[in-house]
Amino acid sequence: MADFDYDLFVIGGGSGGVRAARVAAGETGARVGLAEESRYGGTCVIRGCVPKKLMVFASAYGDMPETARAYGWNIAGDGFDWLRFRTRLHAELDRLEGVYRRILGNSGVTTYDTRATVVDAHTVRLASGETLTAKHILVATGGRPVRPELPNAHLGLVSDDIFNLGTLPRSILIVGGGYIACEFACILHGLGVKVTQFYRGAQILRGFDDEARGLIAESMRDRGIALHTGTNIVEMTAQNPDNAAPGSPVRVTATTGHTEDFDAVLFATGRTPNTDGLGLEQAGVKLGRGGEVVVDDYSQTAVPSIYAIGDVTNRVNLTPVAIREGMAFVETVFKGNPTPVDHDLIPSAVFTQPELGTVGLTEEAAAEQEPIEVYCTSFKPMQSAFAGHDERVLMKLVVSKATRRILGCHIVAPEAGEMIQLAGIAVKMGATKEDFDRTVAVHPTMSEEIVTMRHPTRSA
């Protein structure tokens, strides 16, 4: 057997790469090296899920004084201090990065704070020029946001930039209709920014349940977000050509012919895998049309010693999925227990206001597959109705007529992400509508409606 520097070398220090490295080293005694060219924690911890969710929390407090007054409290709203929040945000991200570094060190992983590229099936090269060999190489380099091919697109921000803004813009145009675009529209509106959103499609949140995304679009508009579907940018120019940097004020002309000035534009129009310049194709690894690493059910590439997990494979781009893929990789390669990755029935949440929690098939996808029944209710929740708010929530179950199994569960409500995590367990276990019916409701709660809907709203 050839003598390698490492049993495993991981390229990328995000959630998936770190989990695979520390488990392989800590639980199997493997010699593991890991290289990260930016910050440990990757997209999720540094410029994705974690800072975004903290901004979600911050944005939700804007309505609290008004709601509190309806409940008898004398509370004044004094506005939002972005710099104070940003200081605490960055301190928390620094703390979490330190946690990741300590976890790797305590597990015996050797780390390299530099870029690494693939030379061949068993060799990586660091930016310093040093080469290292490994029996197995794991690519976990994630993805990054991209700007559209549009003149002056460099003037627009991307999601990574939001967490580092010096000041909040007074007005912003968000381009895109996916979950990142919609989440930031709600966040920035909640922080006091005047938000306009363009999406070229007919409805936001493509791929999610039609009824659920319709309610979210309605809620966003009711809150004051100027959401324009079927709309895109025709032309974008700097208001001040002498200061034409990303995030600077721009003048935008839309496909509708309308022209408007914005303090900033945010592009949330897609992400791409980080495979550029990694040397993967030269080493024999196959890439897909979008630059993603092509892998099999065990995350193995066309080169048997090279594996890939997480967003760089563009399978299901969610942090918990990358972590699961990393664990399955360790089970397969280092524990002798071949474990395919399970991408079926993954619960997920969109942190708009209100949130969307979803697991399983949409009504539309289920109806194409087999005959179904739909159980659905929409209502004003007690807490907001008492305060005089008009916002509605949605609870929806998609049920197979043949097996009575719950094929999909969709919730639009405050804290829907928390609810869908628990509902996801039941759906993953194969619960039937009658199993839900046998479950006693917790009263008074919003979620009790999930187990009290007795008659189908419609069949398909």
Amino acid at 418: E
CB atoms within 10 A of CB 371: 11
**E strands of 12-122, at which residues?**
32-35, 110-112, 116-120
Both tokens of 261, joined, read: 């000035």
In this structure, are residues 322 and 316 in contact, taking their beta carbons and an 8 Å threshold? Answer: no
Kindly state the tokens that stand for 303.
Answer: 């080169």
In DSSP terms, which residues pair with 373 in a beta bridge?
399, 459
Asked if 177 and 232 count as a contact pair (C-beta separation under 8 A), the reply is no
**Cα–Cα distance list, 414 to 74, 188, 258, 419, 420 (Å):** 24, 17, 34, 9, 11
Q: How far is CA 24 from CA 7, 60, 155, in A?
A: 9, 40, 43
H or E element that contains 6: strand 6-11
- Of 215, 216, 235, 218, residue with least CA distance to 173: 235
Cis status of the peptide bond prior to 145, with omega within 30 of 0: no
Q: Could you confirm whether 443 is annotated as catalytic? A: yes
- Of 154, 228, 258, 443, the catalytic one is 443
Q: How far apart are CA 410 and CA 403, in angstroms?
A: 19
- Looking at the DSSP bridge assignments, the partners of residue 253 are 235, 259
Contact 109, 25 (CB under 8 A): yes
Q: Residues 447, 451, 454, CA angle at the centre, nearest 5°?
A: 130
Is there a contact between 132 and 6 (Cβ–Cβ < 8 Å)? yes
Backbone angles phi, psi at 394, to 5 degrees: -135, 135
How far apart, in whole angstroms, are the C-alpha atoms of residue 83 and residue 1? Answer: 57
Angle at 350 between CA 146 and CA 142, to 5 degrees: 40
Distance CA 374, CA 220 (A): 25
Please give the Cα distance from 419 to 149 (Å, whole number).
39
Q: Which token pair is 343?
A: 């991408």
Residue with tokens 């609810």: 419
Give me the active site residues, please.
443
